[in-house]
Structure 1
């Protein structure tokens, strides 16, 4: 099987989990090769996500590595044997690869939790809000590039109502304007409308809450079928960083608990946003 020319974040994750199974067993790649009969180069390629891993091979490796976590192995088998391209593949030529990785992450999540400090979460943005944000991109985007990104983000929003979604939004993100007063007001009203949907929860952290300075990084926490397959997507100026090490997951679980403890509850948050609408 030839190596993949492009490795998605999810394919890389499958390989990383296979590597974790080996590392937990305390074996080097050379030792794993001797144990399993698989060439060292093939093991390296699988662990890098450069080649696929069959269901049979996942089970074989898990057995040889003495992994008795049945739920984890079954979840890895499901990930490794996914067939067909998601809707995002239709956009591969028009949007950055990172956009497709986000859509794929959302599509496979059991639950999505996000904390945003500067921008309204993409899944809750109006079309005009998106256009205002993309219009201010540096470097500048062409009209065609902005249109493609808007279409893609609108398509991503179809996940709402299909998966549990919890958004904690700092007041700053609600007040920072992407365009004019009308766009800002419509955006707030849209958040209120979306917050009434099944499985969608919106909570606000007001300016007057203390203790947030050290945990202000925007992030998305995607819950997987088993806790080991949870993923944290941290937003940076250079793109999204995908985190999945056990220590990292535990850290961001704790961060989200702290943030959610600071936020207004869902009813108070709607009242807060209604008040902002009246001021806009």
Structure 2
């Protein structure tokens, strides 16, 4: 039995519980249908024990789940036992950061909307270092470099041979914030321009002229899974990352990102906009 399930294992168990609850069954009733004890059902839903693809399909049948895409996605999750690179950081970084790397690794596509910082997957090493240097309480230089290393490794998802499609909506405020001074900011902006020219990366800028807009006070990361109910929202907050996966929350943040994209400049105009800011630094 697992004592410390990963974020992905916990999410898998949560989805099994949601299937059961939609069917209007208690854990005891589900166990009776499966011929197992209620505790075993609870352990599966808590991510503490492994579940076979066959059992997932059997549970879906008992729960009258007709969403074939969801059942297939959950079945596929049972066969993926890859130990991710992020596991080497398990004893030294908060679990939520490892969960974020795991979500990014498995995402089918990703979107982010952010107001005051450059998205982590698009940061240069120097820019990331400047951000961590501002943390409270203050981190030691070795700890800062450890965090920078982790952030840069996360970027593998947009550099690998099968890169994940990525849309970043960035407010003008983030582009003009001189973290590390003009030289660091200028290199960061040039990096954004270079990244925006990659086929799988879309960068859009919301200019100050756009005025107020819904979602402006949040840093939103939306990960699209193999089925819409397996999407994940990550909110970056001062006390640590927060993950959301309730259906109503997923709908809310999809709408917010759509609205922010609608008022943002087009990718081409955004590229020119960033170039102009960098040119005048």
TM-score range, shorter chain: over 0.9
Q: 1:215·1:255 contact (CA, 8 Å) conserved in 2?
A: no
For 1:28 and 1:99, the matched residues in 2 are separated by: 33
**Paired residue secondary structure (1:51):** coil
1:72 matched to 2:70? The reply is: yes
1:98 matched to 2:92? The reply is: no
Q: Counterpart in 1 of 2:171?
A: 170
Q: Counterpart in 2 of 1:278?
A: 279
Q: For structure 2, which runs of at least 5 residues remain unmatched after alignment?
A: none
Deviation at 1:114, TM superposition (A): 0.3
Q: For structure 1, which runs of at least 5 residues remain unmatched after alignment?
A: none
For 2:36 and 2:79, the matched residues in 1 are separated by: 19
Q: Counterpart in 1 of 2:50?
A: 52
Q: 2:97·2:241 contact (CA, 8 Å) conserved in 1?
A: no
For 2:82 and 2:106, the matched residues in 1 are separated by: 14
**What's the CA shift string for 1:43-71, capped at 9, x where partnerless?**
11211222222212211211111112222
Q: 1:94·1:145 contact (CA, 8 Å) conserved in 2?
A: no
For 2:218 and 2:91, the matched residues in 1 are separated by: 30
1:134 to 132, 136, 148: 132
Q: Counterpart in 1 of 2:116?
A: 118
Q: Counterpart in 2 of 1:40?
A: 38
Q: 1:112·1:223 contact (CA, 8 Å) conserved in 2?
A: yes
Q: 2:113·2:168 contact (CA, 8 Å) conserved in 1?
A: yes
Q: Counterpart in 2 of 1:231?
A: 232
Greater displacement, 184-193 / 83-92? 83-92
**Paired residue secondary structure (1:240):** strand
**What's the CA shift string for 1:8-66, capped at 9, x where partnerless?**
22111100110011011111112212222221112112112222222122112111111
Within 5 Å, which residues of 2 pair with 1:192-231?
192-212=193-213, 214-231=215-232
Q: Counterpart in 1 of 2:269?
A: 268
For 1:116 and 1:193, the matched residues in 2 are separated by: 19
Q: Counterpart in 2 of 1:85?
A: 83
For 1:179 and 1:124, the matched residues in 2 are separated by: 16
For 2:252 and 2:25, the matched residues in 1 are separated by: 27
1:187 matched to 2:188? The reply is: yes
For 2:93 and 2:28, the matched residues in 1 are separated by: 40
Q: 1:95·1:145 contact (CA, 8 Å) conserved in 2?
A: no
Query: TM-score under structure 2 normalisation?
Result: 0.95
Q: 1:110·1:223 contact (CA, 8 Å) conserved in 2?
A: yes
Q: 1:233·1:240 contact (CA, 8 Å) conserved in 2?
A: yes
**Paired residue secondary structure (1:220):** strand
Aligned-pair Cα RMSD in Å: 1.4
1:249 matched to 2:247? The reply is: no
